[in-house]
Amino acid sequence: MQITQKNIGLTVGDSLMRVYVASPEPVGTYPGILFYSDIYQLGRPITLLADRLAGYGYVVAAPEIFHRLEPIGAVIEPGDLGRLQGNDDARRTAIADYDADADAVLDWLEQETNVADGKLGTLGFCIGGHLAFRAALQPRVKTAVCCYPTGIHTGKLGRGVANTLERIGEIQGHILTIFGSLDPHVPPDGRQTILQAMDKAGTRHETILYEANHTFMRDDGYRYDPVATDDAWAKIIAFLDRCF
C-alpha cells in the first residue's frame, strides 16, 4: 500500500513536540498507532519502520521522545557518544512528561478523520517498547507491541523510578512482547519478571523470543537480523489484525 508522510507539531506543556506521521494513501479509515523510537529518535532506520507499518494499513504517529531537551528534528547518531547522549536524555526526562506525550499523541489520533473510532494501539522499540507498554495502561489503547522493551522489569525509564510493572493490572488491551535471547538489556530473569507479572494480573498477552541481540530490527548496526526482522513483522501484523 502506498503511503503519505508529514510532520506535525503538538505542544505539550511549554515544549513543541515534532511528530512524524505516516499514513496509508488510499482514502479510508484505519487503526491509529502511537509509534515510539529507541533512544536515537527519528533517524531513517526508525522512520523506515514507521513507513513499513503504515503500508500495512495503519496511521502511524511517531513523536520525538526527547523534544524537551533536543532541537526539533534532532537525530542522535548511534555509537558511543550517541548512546551516552540518548541515555542521558532518557534519564533527564520526567516519567510524567513521557505520559503527557502519550496523551497528546493519542488525543491527536482520536481526532483524525482517517483513524477509525476506538482503534488505537502502540508499538515501540527499546525504551520505546517500555513507553508503548506504559501507554497501554490507558483503557483507550486496545493493543501494544513492545519490541525488546527495556526498563520494565527494573523501573528504569526516566527521572525517578517507573511504576509500570506495579500498574500492569490497569492494562485492558492485548500485549505482544518480542525479545532477543542474546539481549543483555533484558536478560532471561527480566523477561520472566515481565511475563509472570502479566500472568498474575490476568493480562492478555503473547510473546515471541528470537535468537537475536538487542535492536535486531534496526537495519544500520551489526546486531541487525533481517530474517528475524521479517518474521517479527509478519507476526506483528497478524497480531494487530486480530486485535483490531
**C-alpha to C-alpha distance for 198 and 206, rounded to whole angstroms:** 10
244 residues of the chain, pLDDT tens digit each: 999 999 999 999 999 999 999 999 999 999 999 999 999 999 999 999 999 999 999 999 999 999 999 999 999 999 999 999 999 999 999 999 999 999 999 999 999 999 999 999 999 999 999 999 999 999 999 999 999 999 999 999 999 899 999 999 999 999 999 999 999 999 999 999 999 999 999 999 999 999 999 999 999 989 999 999 999 999 999 999 999 9
- Of 126, 146, 147, 243, the catalytic one is 126
Active-site residue, 126 included: yes
pLDDT of residue 128: 98
- Of 183, 205, 225, 243, the catalytic one is 183
pLDDT of residue 9: 98
Domains of the chain: 3-243 (3.40.50.1820)
Burial annotation 12-50 (CB, 10 A radius, 16+ → b, else e): beeeebbbbbbbbeeeeebbbbbbbbbbbbbbebbbebb
DSSP single-letter state for residue 159: B
Active-site residue, 183 included: yes
Which residues 6+ apart lie within 8 Å of 85 measured at CB? 76
User: Phi and psi dihedrals of 188, rounded to 5?
Assistant: -55, -40
User: Phi and psi dihedrals of 147, rounded to 5?
Assistant: -95, 120
* pTM (two decimals): 0.97
- Of 97, 147, 214, 225, the catalytic one is 214
The residue whose grid cell reads 518474521 is 231
Active-site residue, 146 included: no
